[in-house]
């Protein structure tokens, strides 16, 4: 089967000029050197690989290469190049370069193919890291230790390490390392075999070695293995193909007790020739320089006194030249050629292939006589040319001997002049063509064997002009633009537009680019421009006769790229010297830099003060100031240009500032309270970032009023916020001066301002007198008492405690009032419920004694029923209301009256009545009102009726009127009652 790439190349090279054949000096390519298989270590992929290819021929051959049946385009492949016919591959790629290569040599006579050569990469991966299970066997038993070869490419060799390197397992009649499987075979285990075994695998090409995890071999304690007949564990296949001249190796090894003896023989009984070698106690049979007479059956026999075991196989000879299973095919031409023409001249190659290989045979066919033939080389039916250019018409028939040429325009022969040239090879050249040169042109070719002709038409067009092309521009990232490209052209021409960006054709499907316009416009729209869109844009205009282009340079500006390599070069307790390397300006020069910092105590990144205060774009160092001592800082740098601020740099290494004496004092120093004989001092702890060093603590200083010297106490807890000084000599509620300072390992810091606090006081010893209470409503009780006339202790106020009964402690509540208040209303109570109450004085030390409890029962709750069936009459500003009286239930307080409320913007008018009627006068202002009615009772106000909404209306003369809204239910009831009154 002919490959497509071969067919295309053969069509381009099999044509031969008649004069070439006439000279008798041209012949097709013949191989001098063909490519060979290559196996390259993976760790050598930085080197070059060379596949050889060299042929002789006249003219000298040219070369093409294919990889896996696909033509290699060397014009677009920077890693592959030709040196003569040799293919040189640099920067080898393990995945792209592996495969089957084939070389083609060709000249004007024809082409031939080389043998196929493989390029492979040798490698050996590491074993998977895992613990291998121990192998437990009885003494005298045979065992197989598996190697588990890792993935690889290339031939391998195997060895086993016993216990530790470099002690390798020595092969003898009892132990064997298979080079086919990599496994270790021990025919009969002895106590000396106990230990750890490690499989060592080496790649024969890369010379790399890898080691497996060790496998422990241990002896079982439940007895010794008895004697048994041989068991062959290592065998060779039933049918082994062997190439002529190769070295054939057969392996055979058996387990058994006693240790089996290995012998070999041929099935035909013929003794082994002297070249055959036995290795490793006959476990390996080696046949060098394999030939036809080495084929046949081979037998391995393993034997001990308990019996024997046999393995057989057959060696088969193969050679490509003499195998009956060959498949033949022709690559370039059929074997029988009828109606021979000059186009049949060229190289013919036969390929013979079977499973063992491929060979090629080449021959050259030369055609010695032919009439003129324009097949494959006719004039174009229509040739367009721009006015003022030179047109070349070639007349190149295939003919032997060479044909004579005659040109005609229409029916008139063409003669040479100052614009028209007829070359000896038949080429017609028309210089500076104009519209008058348009027409039909025919070339006639004649020799003694016949005549032929070919005709084409010439159309002369006006030149094409670019009337608006792209211009150089500056644009900011994210914007969109249109680069124009518009032309004026001859209507008969087909015009196409294409754009190139930095030397590469812009392909369709790129989401940023879109070609817009019609026949005479090929504008390029670029959407959402990015930095990488900066560069040279070329609009290419192609017509049938010419190609034009226009160029523009696009500068894309964006915010700067991140600075890099931010380092902290020097630190003190409050400064850090930074340096960095600049990022790209991205089309706009960097104007200045910003520095940000982050500590464990900040939320996110914060800008810092620097020297210089403004860091210009040419400065790559700065000193960060106003830092806190003994704090771990990270820094990053941002660049700014005319577009904006760019992304931040990578973060610097964490750096701690030097320690220093504390410069911050605790805040909010105060205190007081506590238990008897205590002075409680409190403060706001200094934040960790302001502690300035290790071993941070507080110094608490205090003195009683009138004293000169201070008492100092230190605490080493950085988070402490309270200190209690206890001394029985401290009088209750005595004033003290207090201040709190700081210290760390570098020294003592500042003290806070001095404040006055008081020592703990004693709870009041007196009890309020004259306590009495009354129920105000269903939810309120008013409590009264007499103020304490005298107590040595300070009284801050009074506390009223109340509860329902002693069996329900969860119902207890309390209310506190200032010392100058002798009554309080307790609210939020349950209706018709008995409460117990007591009163006591309190200060910061607690509450004093309290009187025996008194009890009060709250009033029944007000009626739950609101006033219903509200009716109204509105005359002018006078509103009359009527409703049905509310009757209280037995569990509710009796109705003592009604309360009507009229609510406006910021106003509240209340009217109380004992009847179920009310008269309200509406104000004369510009306001709307809401009116509702509630019951009055000892238990308090009951629920309100549905609201009545009154809206003020103004007429054209400025006089005022009112309209009313009432709830739908009330409205229906009012209508029903009105109807009832009218009918009765």
Q: State pLDDT tens for residues 78-137.
A: 899 999 999 999 988 888 999 999 999 999 888 999 999 999 999 899 999 889 999 999
Report the 10 Å Cβ neighbour count for 940.
Answer: 19
**CATH assignment of 466-557?**
2.60.40.10
Nearest to 499 by CA among 514, 509, 511: 514
In DSSP notation, 134-146 reads: PEEEEET--EEE-
Decide: 589 and 617 in contact? Cβ < 8 Å: yes
Kindly report, residue by residue over 348-385, the tens digit of the pLDDT.
Answer: 878 777 766 777 778 877 777 788 989 888 999 999 99
pLDDT in tens, 524-582: 999 999 999 999 999 999 998 999 999 999 999 999 999 999 999 999 999 999 999 99
User: What is the SS3 assignment for 712-767?
Assistant: EEEECCCCCCEEEEECCCCCCCCEEEEEEEEEECCEEEEECCCEEEECCCCCCCCC
Residue 976 scores a pLDDT above 70: no
pLDDT tens for 182-197 read: 999 999 999 999 999 9
Higher pLDDT, 401 or 712: 712
Rounded to whole angstroms, what are the CA distances from 577 to 570, 612, 830? 5, 11, 73
Whether the upstream peptide bond of residue 491 has omega within 30° of 0, thus cis, is no
Q: What whole-number distance in Å separates Cα of residue 524 and Cα of residue 547?
A: 18
For residues 40-45, give the mean pLDDT: 79
Reported as a pLDDT band with limits 50, 70 and 90, residue 977 is very low
Counting beta carbons within 10 angstroms of the beta carbon of residue 956, is it exposed (0 to 12), middle (13 to 18) or buried (19 or more)? Answer: exposed
The yes-or-no verdict on residue 10 having pLDDT over 60 is no
Q: How far apart are CA 941 and CA 933, in angstroms?
A: 10
Higher model confidence: residue 390 or residue 957? 390
When pLDDT is averaged across residues 144-149 and rounded to a whole number, the result is 94
Radius of gyration for the alpha carbons in the chain, expressed in angstroms and rounded: 56
Distances (CA, A) of 347 to 30, 157, 745: 10, 46, 97
Q: Which fold has domain 564-650?
A: Immunoglobulin-like (2.60.40)
* CATH fold of the domain at 868-963: Immunoglobulin-like (2.60.40)
Task: Give the residue, 564 or 962, on which the prediction is more confident.
Answer: 564
Lowest-confidence pick of 285-289, 296-300, 873-877: 873-877
Q: Which CATH class is domain 27-121?
A: mainly beta
Architecture of domain 125-225: Sandwich (2.60)
Mean pLDDT, residues 221-243 taken together: 91
Alpha helices in 293-352 (DSSP H): none
**831 close to 780: Cβ distance less than 8 angstroms:** no
% of the chain with per-residue pLDDT over 70:
91
Per-residue model confidence (pLDDT) at position 319: 63
Segments of the chain assigned to CATH 2.60.40.10: 27-121, 125-225, 227-320, 370-461, 466-557, 564-650, 667-758, 769-857, 868-963
User: Using CA of residue 65, residue 70, residue 75, residue 77, what is the dihedral sign?
Assistant: negative
pLDDT reported for residue 925: 67
pLDDT at 811: 66
pLDDT on residue 720:
96
d(CA 669, CA 185): 86
Q: Which two tokens stand for residue 745?
A: 């390992």
Give the pLDDT of residue 954.
41
Q: Assign domain 227-320 one CATH number from 2.40.40.20, 1.10.10.10, 1.10.300.10, 2.60.40.10.
A: 2.60.40.10
Among 663, 773, 756, 654, residue whose Cα is nearest residue 705: 756
Question: What are the tokens at 177?
Answer: 């390392």
In degrees rounded to 5, what are phi and psi of residue 962? -130, 145
Confidence label for 12 from pLDDT (cuts 50, 70 and 90): very low
Q: Terminal CA-to-CA distance of the chain, rounded, Å?
A: 119
740 touches 698 (CB < 8 A): yes
Count the neighbouring beta carbons within 10 Å of the beta carbon of residue 809. Answer: 9
Which DSSP string do the residues of 17-63 spell out, in sequence order? -HHHHHHT--EEEEEEE----EEEEGGGTTS-EEE--EEEEESPPEE
- Alpha helices by DSSP H, listed for 369-513, are none
Average of pLDDT values for 463-486? 94
Model confidence at 926, pLDDT cuts 50, 70, 90, reads low
- The partner residues of 302 in beta bridges, in order of sequence, read 262, 309
Supply 180's token pair: 């086919």
Residue 204 has pLDDT above 50, yes or no: yes
Please state which of the four CATH numbers 3.90.105.10, 2.60.40.10, 3.40.50.920, 1.10.20.10 is assigned to the domain occupying 370-461.
2.60.40.10
pLDDT band for 518, please (50, 70, 90 cuts). Answer: confident
What pLDDT score was predicted for residue 22?
42
Question: For 769-857, which CATH class?
Answer: mainly beta
At the second CATH level, the architecture of 667-758 is Sandwich (2.60)
State residue 824's pLDDT score.
96
Q: Look up residue 642 and give its two tokens.
A: 């005319």
Indicate whether 650 pLDDT > 60: yes
Q: Per-residue confidence at 6, pLDDT binned at 50, 70, 90?
A: very low
């Amino acid at each position: 089967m002919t490959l497509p790439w071969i067919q295309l190349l053969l069509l381009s090279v099999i044509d031969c000029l008649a004069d070439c054949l006439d000279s008798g000096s041209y012949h097709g390519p013949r191989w001098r050197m063909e490519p060979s298989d290559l196996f390259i270590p993976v760790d050598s992929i930085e080197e070059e690989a060379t596949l050889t290819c060299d042929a002789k021929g006249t003219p000298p051959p040219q070369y093409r290469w294919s990889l896996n049946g696909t033509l290699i385009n060397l014009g677009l492949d920077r890693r592959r190049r030709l040196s003569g016919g040799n293919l040189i591959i640099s920067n080898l790629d393990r995945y792209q370069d592996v495969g089957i290569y084939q070389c083609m040599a060709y000249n004007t006579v024809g082409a031939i193919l080389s043998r196929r050569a493989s390029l492979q990469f040798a490698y050996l991966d590491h074993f998977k890291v895992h613990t291998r299970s121990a192998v437990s066997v009885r003494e005298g038993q045979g065992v197989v230790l598996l190697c588990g070869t890792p993935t690889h490419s290339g031939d391998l060799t195997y060895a086993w390490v016993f216990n530790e390197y470099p002690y390798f397992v020595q092969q003898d009649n009892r132990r064997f390392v298979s080079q086919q499987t990599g496994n270790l075979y021990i025919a009969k285990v002895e106590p000396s075999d106990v230990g750890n075994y490690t499989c060592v695998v080496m790649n024969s090409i890369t010379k790399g070695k890898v080691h497996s995890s060790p496998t422990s071999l241990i002896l079982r304690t439940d007895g010794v293995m008895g004697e048994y007949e041989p068991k062959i564990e290592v065998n060779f296949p039933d049918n082994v193909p062997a190439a002529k001249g190769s070295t054939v190796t057969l392996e055979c090894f058996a387990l058994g007790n006693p240790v089996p003896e290995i012998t070999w023989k041929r099935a035909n009984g013929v003794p082994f020739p002297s070249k055959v070698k036995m290795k490793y106690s006959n476990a390996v049979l080696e046949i060098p320089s394999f030939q036809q007479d080495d084929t046949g059956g081979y037998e391995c026999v393993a034997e001990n006194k308990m019996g024997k075991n046999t393995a057989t196989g057959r060696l088969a000879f193969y050679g490509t030249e003499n195998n009956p299973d060959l498949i033949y095919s022709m690559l370039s031409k059929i074997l029988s050629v009828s109606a021979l023409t000059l186009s049949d001249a060229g190289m013919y190659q036969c390929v013979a292939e079977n499973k063992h290989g491929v060979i090629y045979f080449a021959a050259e066919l030369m055609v010695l006589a032919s009439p003129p033939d324009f097949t494959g080389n006719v004039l174009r039916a229509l040739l367009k040319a721009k006015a003022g250019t030179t047109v070349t018409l070639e007349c190149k028939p295939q003919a032997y001997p060479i044909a004579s040429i005659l040109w005609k325009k229409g029916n008139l022969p063409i003669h040479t002049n100052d614009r028209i040239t007829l070359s000896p090879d038949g080429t017609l050249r028309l210089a500076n063509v104009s519209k008058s040169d348009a027409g039909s042109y025919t070339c006639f070719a004649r020799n003694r064997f016949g005549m032929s002709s070919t005709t084409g038409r010439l159309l002369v067009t006006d030149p094409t002009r670019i009337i608006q092309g792209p211009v150089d521009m500056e644009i900011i990232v994210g914007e969109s633009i249109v680069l124009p490209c518009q032309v004026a052209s001859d209507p008969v021409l087909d015009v196409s537009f294409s754009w190139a960006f930095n030397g590469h054709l812009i392909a369709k499907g790129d989401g940023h680019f879109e070609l817009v316009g019609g026949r005479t416009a090929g504008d390029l729209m670029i959407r959402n421009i990015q930095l990488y869109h900066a560069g040279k844009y070329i609009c290419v205009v192609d017509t049938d006769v010419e190609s034009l282009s226009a160029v523009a340079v696009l500068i894309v500006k964006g915010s700067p790229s991140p600075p890099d390599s931010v380092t902290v070069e020097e630190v003190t307790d409050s400064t850090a010297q930074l340096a960095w390397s600049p990022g790209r300006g991205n089309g706009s020069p960097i104007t200045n830099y910003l520095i940000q910092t982050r500590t464990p105590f900040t939320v996110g990144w914060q800008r810092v003060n620097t020297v210089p205060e403004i860091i210009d774009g040419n400065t790559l160092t700065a000193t960060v100031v106003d830092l806190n001592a003994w704090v771990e800082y990270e820094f990053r740098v941002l660049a700014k240009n005319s577009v904006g601020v760019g992304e931040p740099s990578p973060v610097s290494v964490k750096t701690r500032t030097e320690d220093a004496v504390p410069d911050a004092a605790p805040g909010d120093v105060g205190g007081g309270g506590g238990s008897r004989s205590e002075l409680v001092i409190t403060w706001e702890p200094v934040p960790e970032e302001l502690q300035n060093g290790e071993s941070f603590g507080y110094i608490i200083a205090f003195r009683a009023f009138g004293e000169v010297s201070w008492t100092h106490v230190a605490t080493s807890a950085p988070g402490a916020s309270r200190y209690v000084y206890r001394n029985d000599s401290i009088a209750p509620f005595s004033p003290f001066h207090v201040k709190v300072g700081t210290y760390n390992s570098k020294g003592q810091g500042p003290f806070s301002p001095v404040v006055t606090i008081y020592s703990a006081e004693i709870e009041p010893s007196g009890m309020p007198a004259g306590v009495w209470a009354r129920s105000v409503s269903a939810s309120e009780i008013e409590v009264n008492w007499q103020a304490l006339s005298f107590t040595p202790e300070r009284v801050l106020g009074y506390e009223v405690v109340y509860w329902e009964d002693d069996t329900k402690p969860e119902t207890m509540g309390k209310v506190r009032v200032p010392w100058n208040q002798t009554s309080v209303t307790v609210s939020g109570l349950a209706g018709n419920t008995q409460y117990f109450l007591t009163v006591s004085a309190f200060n910061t030390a607690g509450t004093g004694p309290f009187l025996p409890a008194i009890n009060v029962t709250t009033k029944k709750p007000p009626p739950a029923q609101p006033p219903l069936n509200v009716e109204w009459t509105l005359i002018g500003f006078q509103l009359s209301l009527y409703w049905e009286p509310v009757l209280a239930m037995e569990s509710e307080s009796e109705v003592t009256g009604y309360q009507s409320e009229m609510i406006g913007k910021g106003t509240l008018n209340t009217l109380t009545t004992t009847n179920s009627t009310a008269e309200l006068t509406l104000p004369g202002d510009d306001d709307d009102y809401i009116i509702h009615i509630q019951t009055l009772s000892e238990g308090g106000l009951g629920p309100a009726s549905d609201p009545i909404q009154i809206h003020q209306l103004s007429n054209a003369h400025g006089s005022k009127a009112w309209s009313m809204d009432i709830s739908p239910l009330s409205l229906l009831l009012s209508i029903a009652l009105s109807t009832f009154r009218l009918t009765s």
